[in-house]
Amino acid sequence: MAMQQRQLGSFSVSAIGLGCMNFCHAYGAPVSEEQALRVLRTALDSGVTLFDTAALYGFGASETLVGKALASQRSRFTLASKCGMQGVDVAGNGKQVRVIDGRPATIKATCEDSLRRLQTDVIDLYYLHRWDKQVPIEDSVGALSDLVREGKIRSIGLSEVSAATLRRAHAVHPIAALQTEYSLWTRNPEIAVLDACRELGVAFVAFSPVARGFLCGFSDLGSLHAQDIRRAMPRFSPENYAANLKLMPAYNDIAQEVGCTPAQLALAWLLHQGDDIIPIPGTTSEAHLKDDLGAAGVLLDDDVLARLDALINQRTVVGNRYTEQSESEVDTERF
């Protein structure tokens, strides 16, 4: 079955894209280059036409993998990357640390590095990964607008910003897409920013659409790698996670009733929230990739959607999505 298409700015893209963070960042030890390249190429051959990476992921390693895997097929897909949060050797000891920096000069320098790693002369959608609150959003978006005029990027996106910040940015240059976390267990976009996107004609790209693995049936906290970012997330603390797991039997029953996998149910729920929503699950497994893409063919009736909404939402999930430090770095609305 051909993949559904959705509009993202001037681009028509697959209804489900691929987030490329997992190959080398955040969830433990990186997979082999061979495995990453295989998953990326399988995704393209399976109908995925939106690939989402960032300068931050693996401090450039993810962009390098995407470039190596897909540069020869550049005309077949829409390429998204991000600036404004990257690795910097602050101490001068060769070790990079994550830094949020939205200054125009930094944005432009980061873009040059990304173009080189991605082996392309233009990035289709370039996001400000985080709004640097020390820099007016107008200045950062102004720099991105310069890159559009120079032909180095084709459109501008924002990540993890509020409705108010989106409107300020959009007044400087049209914003093609806004990306933030959205799933059954993270409903923050429903407060205001999703409505703002629709008011302005901005596509909404949902990252962590399967709740960082929670809605795929993951249950063993002890199996997490020592460097897995979920270890520090409040929802994955032992006490909170035990409470959240109590939601899963009823959720799995609904998936069985519908005739799909738990991951497909989570993605199908998102696809049913509006045709302007594009989830970008990430995976290092070809089997999981194909499972995710199968969600495009899952139809949910109003009764199932209502039951899912009532079962997993901001009132039934225990714990914040981020630590207080991470919350301070984003601009999204909070319940």
| Residue range 42-52: mean pLDDT, rounded | 98
pLDDT for 1 beyond 70: no
What the block records as the tokens of 261 is: 């996998």
Question: At 335, is the pLDDT very low, low, confident or very high (cuts 50, 70, 90)?
Answer: very high
| Residue range 124-153: mean pLDDT, rounded | 98
Question: At 179, is the pLDDT very low, low, confident or very high (cuts 50, 70, 90)?
Answer: very high
Let me know if residue 334 belongs to a domain: no
pLDDT tens column, 15-25: 999 999 999 98
Let me know if residue 335 belongs to a domain: no
| Residue range 6-27: mean pLDDT, rounded | 95
pLDDT tens column, 247-291: 999 999 999 999 999 999 999 999 999 999 999 999 999 999 999
Place of tokens 């790209």: 205
Q: Give me the percent of the chain exceeding a pLDDT of 90.
A: 90
Amino acid at 250: A
Compute and round to an integer the Cα radius of gyration of the chain.
19
pLDDT tens column, 222-231: 889 888 999 9
Q: What is the pLDDT of residue 94?
A: 79
Let me know if residue 33 belongs to a domain: yes
300-330 CB burial, b ≥16 within 10 A, e <16: beeebeebbeeebbeeebbbbbbeeeeeebb
Let me know if residue 185 belongs to a domain: yes
CA distance 250 to 269: 15
- Count of the separate structural domains present in the chain: 1
Q: 219, 221, 220: which is closest to 233 by C-alpha?
A: 221
CA distance 154 to 123: 6
Q: What is the pLDDT of residue 226?
A: 87
CA distance 139 to 141: 6
pLDDT for 219 beyond 80: no
pLDDT for 169 beyond 90: yes
CA distance 64 to 58: 10
Indicate which CATH number applies to the domain containing 88.
3.20.20.100
Let me know if residue 25 belongs to a domain: yes
Let me know if residue 244 belongs to a domain: yes
pLDDT tens column, 57-96: 999 999 999 999 999 999 999 999 999 998 888 778 878 8
Q: Domain residues for 32?
A: 5-329
Q: Give me the percent of the chain exceeding a pLDDT of 70.
A: 100
Question: How many helices and strands, by DSSP H and E, does the chain display?
Answer: 12, 12
Let me know if residue 101 belongs to a domain: yes
What the block records as the tokens of 158 is: 């924002």
Let me know if residue 152 belongs to a domain: yes
CA distance 48 to 39: 11
Q: What is the mean pLDDT of the chain?
A: 96
Active-site amino acid positions: 57
Question: At 175, is the pLDDT very low, low, confident or very high (cuts 50, 70, 90)?
Answer: very high
